[in-house]
Structure formats: structure tokens, C-alpha cells
Amino acid sequence: MNQPHPRFPEIKYYRPKTLKEAVEFLEKHADQSRPYTGGTDCFNQVRDKRIYPEYLVDLKSVEGFREIKFDPKKGLNIGAAARLNEIICHPKITKYYPVLVESAREVGGYQLRNRATLVGNLCNASPCGDTIGPSLVYCSKMHIVGPGGKREVDLKDFFEGPGKTSLRPGEIVESVSFPIPHPGTEGIYQSIGRNKFGDLAIAAVTVLGYEKKDTSSGYEFLITLTAVAPTVIFADLAQDILTAQSITHGTLRQAASACGEACKPIDDIRGSAQYRRDMIRMLAFRGLEKTCKLLNISL
Amino acid sequence: MELIKIQVTVNGSKEILDVHPNLSLLNMLRENLTLTGTKSGCEAGECGACTVLLEGEPVNSCMVLAVECRGLSVETIEGLSEEEPMKKLQQAFMELNAIQCGFCTPGMLISAFALLKRNPDPSDKDIRMALLGNLCRCTGYERIISAVKKAARK
């Protein structure tokens, strides 16, 4: 039979049932282990020998890892093994974090999302990870556990480069939490890929806006740019423009242009750097325009 | 490499197998259990030819390890063919010629079956979104979508 891919290498498989078991194992085999939940990225990386772990540590059975908890005061907590389709169907996430749901729908096909996890998508740290931008604008926090105990890291400080995070050897992410968004928050995730749905983003923009009395414009906007820099980035200057000036079509154009300036795209198989920069300007303008409409701002 | 004993329910029958940790669910079904209705396509989670139901939900079996299925239930095209709405789907696919070479068909049928189970009256968009992870390279998608719609209305 014609084998399009190399054979999956020999590997050892370990499936802890408790967090304690997982942490102890990972502490002992920190450099030889790879945490594994949905496996949708990890499976191909191991098979194609881009990574060489001795052990796959399957965290799906760890108590509490599949849980999605919502509290109207504390916010949302999504366990490391909660799947994207479970997130998409969750009524509270749809109500309070619709932009996250929109972005999760963009990840692969239905079958893939039955395995893929949000925490996995974040830990993979791809510059084009669809759920990263929305997770950043909703100010999420990674809950990490490892040999040194537990710690929390703001998602904005989690990424260090393409595929690189601030996770230390032996550490795993237990869950990701999201505070309750400001009342009246609206936003949108705009992406383009080679196909209309389900493909990796060539460029994407997330916009989130809400009313804020103490700013000159009366609003605060958070904007992230995907697939146009080594990590997903905030468009700081564009955000400042929208806070400092009253919101008009001109301000939106100025902010969209600042998004174009903020990105550092590369040429690759999916698009040229110039195309990506142009698309970021267009996606940012459309995203801002739509968000303003949702916020009932007359331009 | 060590062998791991797993018990997995495949199409309703309990199977006890000794598997290597690097064996995929796809290869377990095709090679250990000779259930060759599940096809091996891209082996990268893109084409959906290997779609099976794992605990009632469609997954790409090429990207699931057999050891992960310990204690779980798997259903393949062979096990679903007598169950509704699969019979209606198969009938509609045949009536509307939604099959040319047939390689993608088992995966398409399983994705469509899972869709009709969770949404018995899907819109065109629902069908397109549910079949997004199943690629067809010869029949074309219009007939497949029409067949799913026809089966839903039967």
C-alpha cells in the first residue's frame, strides 16, 4: 500500500487518572514526554518526526480536565481536555464569549473539532491559531501546573515565538480562564483562508469593543492580528487611536492602517507578505465597522 | 515495543486486542479487524475518508491511537448500515447518484448520519458545515448535499 506519511514511530503511552499522577510522571520524564489531549497537532508532529518524545502522556482522563465551568461572577474556566465542539455548543460561552465561538468554528472540520481542544490550540502557539486572537482580547489566563507547583500566566505573556511558549519542562496547562466581559461588549473574528471555512488563516483580525466613560472616544477597543507576525499580536497603536479620538469612518480607516503597519508578515505557501498586510487593513476596517454597528455607534 | 491490552466495543461487539501504542484506530479497524469500509486517505485529518463514530461522535480515525479507545465504543460503516437514518441516506445517495468512485462515501455517510442524529432537519448550510471535513474529488458536492437533504425529508 502506498504510504503517504512515514510510519508512526515507536512510542510509550501513559494515561494518568489524576493531576498528581500526571505531574509526578512529567516531573520524572520532563524532557522525554509530550502532553497529549486531542492530538490533532501532536499526532502529525510525532509521526512526521518534527518532535521526538519517548512518552505520550494522554491527559484526557485526568479528573476535571474535560470540565467547562461558568460562574456569573468569576467567569469561565475551560479544562485542558475540553473539545472545541463542546465549547461551540456551550450556551454560556455562546452568550458571553461569541467571538471565541466564531473562531473555534473556523478550526478544521466537525470531526477534527470533536478531538481538538482550546488549550491544545493555545499551547501549539501557531501564529495562525484561530482561537488565540479571541482568547487574547477576552483577557484569558493560563493555569499551569508543574514540578514547581501551580502558577498563572496572562495569555498575552504566554507566547514566545512560533510554537514556543513560556511553559517550562514538565509543566502542563490545567485550564484556561476568562473573566466576565464588560457589559455590552461586542466583537467579531474576521479571517481569510484559501477556503471559505476550515482552512488555516492567511490573515485574521479579532476586534472587541465596549463602552468606557473615561476615554476620549467613550469606548475601548481591543484588536489582535493573526498570521502576520511570529505570534498573534495586539495592534496597540490602532487601539490607542480608537480610544483617543471620536469614532468616525476616518478614525476607523486610520486604525485599520495602523493595523497594517503593526504586522510583520512573511511570504509563504498561503500568501505573500504584501497580500497579508493589505488583507489585515481590509479585515481590520470591516471588523471595526461591524463592531461599531453592533455597539450602535453612528459613524 | 510493549503491547497494551485493550477492550473496545466495535459495532456492538466486544473486542479484546493487544496493540502497540503507535497503532492508529484506522489501522486497527482495517488491519486487525478487517473492517475495510473505513478508508485510508490523507492520514492527516484533512479528507475525512477515515471517519468513524467514537462514543457516537464522528472523528478522524487516522489521528486517534488505538490505545486511546480502551473501554470506548467505535462504530464503522459496516455496523451502521442497518440503522436509521443510515438506510435512508444510503438509498438517497444511490437514487441521486451521489457516488462516483465511492472512496469518500463511507466517511460522507458517517458524517451525514451524525448530522441527522443531532439535527434531523438541517439547512443547506448545516449540511455544508457538517461535511466540511469530508473531501470528495470526483462526484462533486451538490449531489451529496441533495442526497442528505432528501434523506432528512424521508
Instruction: Give pLDDT tens digits for A287-297.
Output: 999 999 999 99
Q: What average pLDDT does chain A have?
A: 94
The domain locations on chain A are 68-178, 186-294
The domain locations on chain B are 4-79, 82-153
Question: What is the pLDDT, as a whole number, of residue A199?
Answer: 80
Is pLDDT of A39 > 60? yes
Is pLDDT of A165 > 70? yes
Question: What is the pLDDT, as a whole number, of residue A2?
Answer: 45
Q: What is the pLDDT of residues A82-128, one digit of tens each?
A: 999 999 999 999 999 999 999 999 999 999 999 999 999 999 999 99
Is residue A40 less than 8 Å (CB to CB) from chain B?
Answer: yes
- Average the pLDDT over A33-44 and give the result: 92
Cβ B48–A1 below 8 Å, yes or no?
Answer: no
pLDDT > 70: percent of chain A: 98
Count of A-B CB contacts under 8 Å: 79
C-alpha–C-alpha distance, residues A190 and A196, integer Å: 11
> Which of B43, B58, B64 is nearest residue A110 as measured by Cβ atoms?
B58
Give residue A279's pLDDT band: very low, low, confident or very high (50, 70, 90).
very high
Question: What is the pLDDT, as a whole number, of residue B2?
Answer: 87
C-alpha–C-alpha distance, residues B131 and B124, integer Å: 11
Give residue A136's pLDDT band: very low, low, confident or very high (50, 70, 90).
very high
What CATH superfamily is the domain B4-79?
Answer: Beta-grasp domain (3.10.20.30)
A68-178 CATH choice from 3.10.400.10, 3.30.1330.10, 3.30.465.10, 3.30.230.70: 3.30.465.10
> Which of A13, A40, A111 is nearest residue B65 as measured by Cβ atoms?
A13
Question: What is the pLDDT, as a whole number, of residue A5?
Answer: 67
Question: What is the pLDDT, as a whole number, of residue A197?
Answer: 74
C-alpha–C-alpha distance, residues A137 and A157, integer Å: 13
A3 DSSP assignment: -
Q: Which class in CATH covers the domain with range A186-294?
A: alpha beta
Please, what sign has the CA dihedral across residues A109, A110, A116, A121? positive
Give residue A4's pLDDT band: very low, low, confident or very high (50, 70, 90).
low
- pTM comes to 0.95
B82-153 CATH choice from 1.20.1050.10, 1.10.150.120, 3.30.479.30, 3.40.50.1860: 1.10.150.120
Is residue A163 less than 8 Å (CB to CB) from chain B?
Answer: no
Question: What is the pLDDT, as a whole number, of residue A1?
Answer: 44
- Average the pLDDT over B34-50 and give the result: 95
Q: What is the pLDDT of residues A200-254, one digit of tens each?
A: 899 999 999 999 999 999 999 999 999 999 999 999 999 999 999 999 999 999 9
C-alpha–C-alpha distance, residues A37 and A86, integer Å: 14
Q: What is the pLDDT of residues B77-118, one digit of tens each?
A: 999 988 999 999 999 999 999 999 999 999 999 999 999 999
Fold match between domain A68-178 and domain A186-294: no
Cβ A198–B132 below 8 Å, yes or no?
Answer: yes
A140 min Cα distance to partner chain B (Å): 28
Cβ A111–B42 below 8 Å, yes or no?
Answer: no
Rg of chain A taking only CA atoms, in angstroms: 20
C-alpha–C-alpha distance, residues A173 and A167, integer Å: 8
